[in-house]
Amino acid sequence: MAARKAPVADAHASLGLQRADERLWVMKVPKFLMEHLQLCAANGAVSLGTVQQAPPSAKPIVRAPPGAPTTAYTLTLPEDGRPEGLPREYEFRFASPPPAMYVMSRGAAAKDSVLAAPRLEGRVHHRGELRPREVSGEYRSLIKEREDRANAPRRTMGIVDDEQSLLKKQKLSHRQMRADEAAAKAKKAAQRQKNSQSKAAQPELSSRELKEALKGCFARQPFWSRHDLVRELGNENALGKGLEELCVRVTAKGTQHYGDYRLKDEYRTGLPAAGGGDGASPSVGGASSLPMP
């Protein structure tokens, strides 16, 4: 047996326009005041409050938005049923009226759960908010506590808010980057000072002494780069001439010692051979060729 479906409202129900000419105020109400008014309405209160113009001695509205009323209005709650500490008087703060805003409503549910036809309650003439006119010290403390909770860092299960954590990480990363840059600069400065001291410690050699020193270097190893020779012997200005007279440069690309220097063959007497496919012809210093039998 099929279940009975509840009837629904007619999609083409006419819109009630009996109140179309009503001029309405739409006001933003504090949550605590709204809860109090709803409770009073549910309990069948005769009056929720009285709206009236403020007396002439009241403070005038300053910088009223264009189109907003210049007259001050107040809402006064009945004394009966008002909780202790709840402000009794509220003032209306108006904003600029909307260009076109209407309030629609739908009546209470009729029999068989069919909703009544929608009804136009009127056009919004003014809008704004209600604020307590006189705030007690107790209420000010309550507002301050709410602001402090709203502005406090958000924490969930001991985890700091993501935005604050990201900002902290960015600051730490920036500090670490600056520290690394400073350390690199200090290291370069120390290396330059060390190099200058090393060069200053190298004695100035004569042309003959420099050539002998070069031969001594090549006696230890067959290939040297210019940079290593300067670090070893100093005398950078005179080194080029000595290399030109005594050495040849390896120009075969793709080899292990490409760009390095080796002694010319005529100066390699008594020195180890500089073989290995780097453009050097192997030789055996001090060995005389034997006659063929």
Q: Is residue 277 part of a domain?
A: no
Domain boundary, last residue among 108, 125, 152: 152
Answer yes or no: do 221 and 134 share one domain: no
pLDDT of residue 62: 53
Range of the domain at 263: 207-267
User: What are the per-10-residue average pLDDT scores of the chain (293 residues)?
Assistant: 45 70 85 86 85 70 68 85 82 82 73 67 85 72 74 56 66 78 87 65 78 88 89 81 89 88 84 54 36 37
Answer yes or no: do 31 and 98 share one domain: yes
Per the structure, the count of domains in the chain is 2
pLDDT of residue 57: 60
Q: Is residue 47 part of a domain?
A: yes
* Rounded CA separation 191/183 (Å): 12
Q: Is residue 60 part of a domain?
A: yes
* Rounded CA separation 184/220 (Å): 35
pLDDT of residue 260: 92
Specify the pTM: 0.39
Tokens of 251: 């120009």
* Rounded CA separation 6/9 (Å): 10
* Rounded CA separation 263/208 (Å): 16
Residue type, 194: K
Of the candidates 286, 267, 284, 216, the residue with the CA atom closest to the CA atom of residue 224: 216
Which residues contact residue 162 at a Cβ distance below 8 angstroms, ignoring those fewer than 6 apart? none
pLDDT of residue 249: 92
Angle at 90 between CA 86 and CA 93, to 5 degrees: 140
pLDDT of residue 282: 39
pLDDT of residue 223: 93
Answer yes or no: do 126 and 243 share one domain: no
* CATH code where residue 233 lies: 1.10.10.10
Domain boundary, last residue among 105, 120, 152: 152
Answer yes or no: do 126 and 32 share one domain: yes
Q: Is residue 11 part of a domain?
A: no
